Amino acid sequence: NAYWRYQLLDIFYENSSFTVDLSGAPCDPQNFVNASSDLGLSPFNISSKNQDLFILYDCDLGRRPAPPASWTRVRCPPDLPPVFALLGNKYTPGGIATPPPTNYCAVSMIPVLGYEGATGADYRRLLQGGSLLEYTDAGACKACRVSGGQCRVDASDDAFKCYCTDGNDNWFVCGDNRKNKMKIMLIVSMSVAASLLLPCIYVMRRHRKRGTLCGKTSSNIERKIEALIVLHGSLFPKRYKYSEVTKITSSLNHKLGEGGYGMVLKGRLDDSHLVAVKFLHDSKDGEEFVNEVMSIGRTSHVNIVSLFGFCLEGSKRALIYEFMINGSLDKYIYSENPKAVLGWEKLYTIAIGIARGLEYLHHSCNTRIVHFDIKPQNILLDQDFHPKIADFGLAKLCRTKESRVSMTGARGTIGFIAPEVHSRTFGVVSTKSDVYSYGMMLLEMVGGRKNMSSVAQKSSEKYFPHCIYDHFGQGDGLQACEVSSENEGIARKMSVIGLWCIQILPMHRPTITKVLEMFERSLDELDMPPRQNFSQILEDPSYSLNAESTRTISCTETQVFSEVLEMEIRVVDSKTLQRLPTTL
């Protein structure tokens, strides 16, 4: 991985494997590699000899009891948040590791070698043992070993060297026997040829009935997906055939909904898991499809919907998600009496859960993710009404060291799009663009209506944020804004936080981490944000629109599928070997 350094523990040349420490500090698991989502291990594969070690952290124990007895609490310094561990079953490459339900903690999974009789109580020893990774032995290394040498890397120039028993180190092989060298060259040639042809053989076997990576009829989007599969291997979400998808959805019979993006059907996997299958229309060369697979495929969080797999056959594109029995948030907050259905305390809990999911996307992944379409329709609720962020079609993957988001045009839903996404006059696009959308959604949860419709009517009296400013300090409180007096404290707190989030300039908005801190404070400790309007911002020279530091987030690619692939993938057509661009 070009962005993280790992400690190499041991190398086993005889079976082309090695152990590596993929963890960080034992009591700081948020810096671990999450093997269920992190795509940074390619071109290595996680060995099936490992076991799943599940780790819980950032637990909200103030509102919930401790995890079940099967989880072991890790001994950590008292000033650090609690960490819990559970040793699971054998690691299955390409499988979906599912720990027991823990809806109030962040969860991570790391593969460990393990040993007989080990449990979560052996947490530190398991981490010290490392994870077993496998690699494909290069042709030059095979040749060196056949000649009696050992493969090494010269630390001075990172060049391959073959260390021989006579004490010499050669560039290629040991010995000077002509016959031996011919044998070695044959091995090298065969190995190199195999390394070039294997990806094509893999693709051709799976997709013989249509254009493939190695064929002329393959579409541009399929070549990108195929390249990513070859690059990321078992860590890429599972790919299903269209015939398998029709079986999962009972021949496309159980429709859940339909929109401009396509339609969603209910289905069931072979292991009886209920799923929602989202069929996408063919648009923009499939960029939204790739966005969704690449971004949500990297995540593993209780407040992010899980992607079980995808299907890509010609123009047929489908995404297979976990099924959320209670549907999306919008059908509750826009109902006649939403508070009677969910209640203020449940709405409050949902708001915090969404913020935690956003914090994970913005700050807890090796690759940051900006969602760009946070709205009630994209918040799904499970059987216990725990929220999960969904629909990553407009998301962008962002490197941690870059300084800003580069975009070719506005994206999002009217009423939730941050001003800077419309016009760079208001600042740079960043994670705070998601914070703005979150704030608008928070206010709609309080007001129980669509704020965008009020704007369209140009009636500031009906515009809910203005109503809050006008009546917040008065005796009637928020009742004038059609908010009931019951549990008004929760409504007032959510309103204040929402108003902070929708400040016009990004520099005045809190980060999503700061938003979570605001939820932890009492209403009396929260200040009312200043009331702003667009004309005031544009006309007042005291506002420095470019003064904000933009180090919060970053993304320089114009589309998510434009990320640089860090290996060469060669494709074979009927006439020649040609090199794919390293940037797809």
Catalytically active residues, by annotation: 373
DSSP state of 323: -
Question: Has 514 been labeled as part of a binding site?
Answer: no
Q: What is the CA radius of gyration of the chain?
A: 27
380: three-class secondary structure by DSSP: strand
The DSSP line for 80-139 is S---EEEEEEE--TT----PSP-TTSEEEEEEE---TT--GGGHHHHHHH-EEEE-PPPH
Question: Taking Cα atoms as reference points, which of 41, 47, 7, 12 lies closest to residue 128?
Answer: 7
Measured CA to CA, the distance from residue 178 to residue 185 in angstroms comes to 11
Are the C-beta atoms of 512 and 362 separated by less than 8 Å?
yes
219: left (phi over 0), alpha (psi -120 to 50) or beta: beta
428: left (phi over 0), alpha (psi -120 to 50) or beta: beta
The size of the chain, in residues, is 584
Q: How many other C-beta atoms are found inside a 10 Å radius of the C-beta of residue 422?
A: 12
The strand ranges marked E within 293-345 are 307-313, 316-322
Question: Taking Cα atoms as reference points, which of 324, 330, 281 lies closest to residue 304?
Answer: 324
Measured CA to CA, the distance from residue 274 to residue 256 in angstroms comes to 13
The percent of the chain in helix, strand and coil, each rounded to the nearest 5, is: 35, 20, 45
Question: Taking Cα atoms as reference points, which of 78, 79, 76, 58 lies closest to residue 67?
Answer: 58
The strand ranges marked E within 378-530 are 379-381, 387-389, 396-398
Question: Taking Cα atoms as reference points, which of 239, 225, 14, 22 lies closest to residue 113?
Answer: 22
Is residue 583 packed enough to be buried (19+ CB in 10 Å), middle (13-18) or exposed (0-12)?
exposed
Which tokens belong to 356?
């935690």
Measured CA to CA, the distance from residue 36 to residue 26 in angstroms comes to 19
Question: Taking Cα atoms as reference points, which of 60, 74, 73 lies closest to residue 102?
Answer: 60
Query: What are the residues facing 111 on neighbouring strands?
Result: 52
Measured CA to CA, the distance from residue 70 to residue 275 in angstroms comes to 28
Q: Report CA-CA distances (Å) from 181 to 144, 145, 159, 492.
A: 10, 13, 20, 80
Which tokens belong to 539?
């006309």
Measured CA to CA, the distance from residue 427 to residue 190 in angstroms comes to 56
Measured CA to CA, the distance from residue 49 to residue 112 in angstroms comes to 9
Q: Which residues are annotated as a binding site for ATP?
A: 278
Q: Which residues are annotated as a binding site?
A: 278
